Amino acid sequence: MATNNPIPAPQHNLVHLRIDSFAIGLRYSSPRSGRTERPLAIDRSERAKRLKAELSAAFNAARKRVATRQLNSKRKRPGIYVEVRSEPGQQIPELTWMRKGIRLGAVRTEADHVQVASLFVPDAATSFFEEKLEAFGEGTTGVGKVPYRDRFEHLENIQVATLNTLWTDTRPLPTDREAPIWWECWCWRDQAEELRTVAHELSFLVSDRILRFPDLEIVLINGSLSSLEEIIHQSSSLERIRYALDSPAFFTEVAHREQRAWVEDLRERLVPALPSSPAVCVLDTGVTRLHPLLDQSLLPEDCLSVDPAWGTDDSHPCGHGTNMAGVVLYSDLTFPLAGQGTLYLPFGLESVKIIPPPQLLPNDPKSYGSITQSAVATAEVNKPNRPRTFCMAIT
């Protein structure tokens, strides 16, 4: 219904509200002006002298160690790894000077909240590092501040590094010093080739598979713990060391052609179970039997289906049945792929397809029980005398 009180038109042409009379003009001053630097909680002169003495002692100890072992170092940039420790509850400061070749390695935190890291210091950069310590201990900047405070204030200790300094794996180093083991050496990318050269000279087996990150490169080497300890005296490339391949990321992130090379290497080392051996029967979406890691353990006559019209190949978009067969046969593939020895498989595989292809109507939920019974019977009729267990990892 019409109204006699129309909405009033908005008024936009109003006079501006002026605040001139409330403003006061002042000259700009920096918000940092007048601030004083927080006093140091340590005697910086004493700290600098002690750290300098520790650095010198570390270099002397490293040189004696090299002379004792009669190592013939071929490094392009000779130097040593030192171990640096923070004050409890403090972080390791940034100690990298790239132009001088001084590089801070991986940092770990110990139970007493002390951070520990390796620091590679080239021989030619020793005096540079000592000069920075002297400046921290006695010098001042143009504005009266302590130079290099951010680098040395919370640095508690410097000592010669050991393999434990570079070790970042949560598992302890092996007790058997001579057993060959695959090691994961994280190197600075511009130094990775040097590590390969040194590793070859020390009779390590060096993998040609590579995993690269923006600043680091992982080099896999196989050798004993005692030989690994020699590497830190001859190589300037190490950022950290771990057991090799405790994560499948190395294999999942390499290029497809490199994955195939790893698969073929493992396939050549496989010894499948005898046809009369026990089997695990996978009730799933079918299995792609021709997968190179499955075909020796899953014979054509052991690929079955509750409905012949469905076929026996894996019809799942992501290969669910094939993946489950791999898990059943190998569990975690990481270590078999990384190994070198023969792998004996204790049992074989069977497959019964219980899920129709996507283009067909799905199973009636009321029939799930009877379909499962039919699948079990199909496998048992196929080879009635074979010991088996069943795996049905679907819902």
> Mind spelling out the 3-state secondary structure of 33-81?
CCCCCCCCCCCHHHHHHHHHHHHHHHHHHHHHHHHHHCCCCCCCCCEEE
Question: The tokens 């010991």 sit on which residue?
Answer: 387
198 located within any domain: yes
CB contact at 8 A, 183 and 241: yes
Looking at the structure, tell me whether residues 238 and 258 fall in a common domain. no
Strand partners, 81: 120
Looking at the structure, tell me whether residues 291 and 387 fall in a common domain. yes
321 located within any domain: yes
CB contact at 8 A, 187 and 232: no
176 located within any domain: no
pLDDT at 161: 93
Looking at the structure, tell me whether residues 77 and 129 fall in a common domain. yes
Q: Which pTM does this prediction carry? A: 0.57
174 located within any domain: no
Distance CA 23, CA 25 (A): 7
Distance CA 331, CA 323 (A): 11
Looking at the structure, tell me whether residues 153 and 89 fall in a common domain. yes
CB contact at 8 A, 283 and 330: no
Looking at the structure, tell me whether residues 238 and 259 fall in a common domain. no
CA neighbor of 157 nearest in space, from 128, 96, 114, 218: 114
pLDDT at 323: 96
Looking at the structure, tell me whether residues 333 and 280 fall in a common domain. yes
Within 10 A of 387 (CB to CB), how many other CB atoms are there? Answer: 10
Buried b (16+ CB within 10 A) or exposed e, 147-173: bbbebbbbbbebebbebebbbbeeeeb
CA neighbor of 88 nearest in space, from 107, 105, 113: 113
Give the domain-ending residue among 114, 132, 161: 161
64 located within any domain: yes
Within 10 A of 317 (CB to CB), how many other CB atoms are there? Answer: 8
13 located within any domain: no
CB contact set of 284 (below 8 Å; sequence gap of 6+): 314, 316, 320, 321, 324, 325, 351, 353, 354, 355, 391, 392, 393, 394
273 located within any domain: yes
CB contact at 8 A, 137 and 113: no
Strand partners, 110: none
pLDDT at 19: 72
Looking at the structure, tell me whether residues 187 and 286 fall in a common domain. no
The CATH code of the domain that includes 202 is 3.30.70
Looking at the structure, tell me whether residues 144 and 206 fall in a common domain. no
Looking at the structure, tell me whether residues 83 and 198 fall in a common domain. no
Looking at the structure, tell me whether residues 47 and 97 fall in a common domain. yes
Residue range of the domain that includes 203 = 181-245
**If the chain, 395 residues long, is cut into consecutive pieces of 10 residues, what is the mean pLDDT of each piece?**
46 66 71 63 92 94 70 60 95 94 92 94 93 91 83 94 92 90 91 92 85 85 92 89 74 73 91 96 98 97 97 96 97 79 94 97 94 98 97 88
Give the domain-ending residue among 128, 161, 194: 161
Looking at the structure, tell me whether residues 53 and 155 fall in a common domain. yes
Q: Phi, psi (5° rounding) for residue 314? A: -70, 120
Give the domain-ending residue among 161, 193, 212: 161
288 located within any domain: yes
Strand spans (E) along the chain = 79-86, 103-109, 115-122, 155-160, 181-188, 205-212, 216-223, 238-243, 270-271, 279-284, 303-305, 343-344, 348-353, 388-391
Looking at the structure, tell me whether residues 268 and 376 fall in a common domain. yes
Q: How many CA atoms lie within 13 A of 74 on its CB side?
A: 10
Q: Phi, psi (5° rounding) for residue 269? A: -100, 0
Distance CA 336, CA 306 (A): 33
Task: State whether residue 233 is helix, strand or coil.
Answer: helix
pLDDT at 69: 57
pLDDT at 62: 82
Number of domains present in the structure of the chain: 3
Distance CA 218, CA 183 (A): 10
What is the DSSP track for 284-314? Answer: ES---TTSTTTTTTS-GGGEEESSGGG-SS-
